[in-house]
């Protein structure tokens, strides 16, 4: 991943400095703070959350192999407002991770990706809202509408 332009234009590392070049002040880094770092933090946090959910999701779905009763009994314990709200949180994490992941792919593979990473992060947030508003309305009307 990459940050955008440094706010204080730094001297580029010379060949002889090579990989040992360490910026002296935070302002000279490409990466610390702002969109580049916070999108990275959010990507990790949502990724870990989704991955642990995935274990539970596969294990409960595996109950279809035990019996229809066993599966339905466990799924019924999820059909309440608290889990309904957690599901909105899960989908919110998935949608963010998906769009920010596509942003990472563009930063890595599109020649102008690093230059536009902040714009793309704004786009990620806009798309996230655009998808989450109708989803939340629809899902919560299922959860609370019975």
How far from 94 is each of 21, 85, 97, 111, CA to CA, in Å? 37, 14, 5, 27
7 binds another protein (CB under 8 A): no
84 binds another protein (CB under 8 A): yes
CB 101 within 8 A of CB 43: yes
CB 114 within 8 A of CB 2: yes
40 binds another protein (CB under 8 A): no
132 binds another protein (CB under 8 A): no
Give every CB contact of residue 139 below 8 A, 6+ residues apart in sequence. Answer: 84, 87, 88, 91
Considering only 4, 10, 23, 47, the residue that binds another protein (CB under 8 A) is 47
80 binds another protein (CB under 8 A): no
Q: Which stretch binds another protein (CB under 8 A): 4-12, 32-40, 122-130, 136-144?
A: 136-144
Considering only 18, 25, 82, 111, the residue that binds another protein (CB under 8 A) is 18
């Amino acid at each position: 991943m990459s940050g955008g332009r440094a706010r204080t234009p730094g001297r580029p590392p010379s060949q002889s400095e090579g990989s040992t070049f360490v910026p002296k002040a935070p302002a000279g880094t490409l990466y610390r703070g702002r969109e580049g770092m916070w999108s990275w933090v959010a990507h990790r946090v949502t990724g870990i959350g989704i991955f642990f959910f995935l274990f539970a999701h596969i294990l409960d779905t595996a109950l279809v192999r035990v019996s229809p009763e066993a599966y339905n009994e466990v799924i019924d314990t999820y059909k309440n407002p608290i889990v309904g709200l957690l599901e909105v949180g899960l989908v919110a994490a998935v949608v963010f991770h998906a769009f920010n992941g596509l942003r990472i792919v563009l930063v890595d593979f599109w020649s102008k990706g690093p230059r536009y990473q902040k714009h793309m992060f704004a786009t990620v947030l806009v798309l996230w809202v655009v998808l989450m508003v109708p989803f939340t309305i629809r899902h919560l009307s299922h959860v609370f509408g019975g």
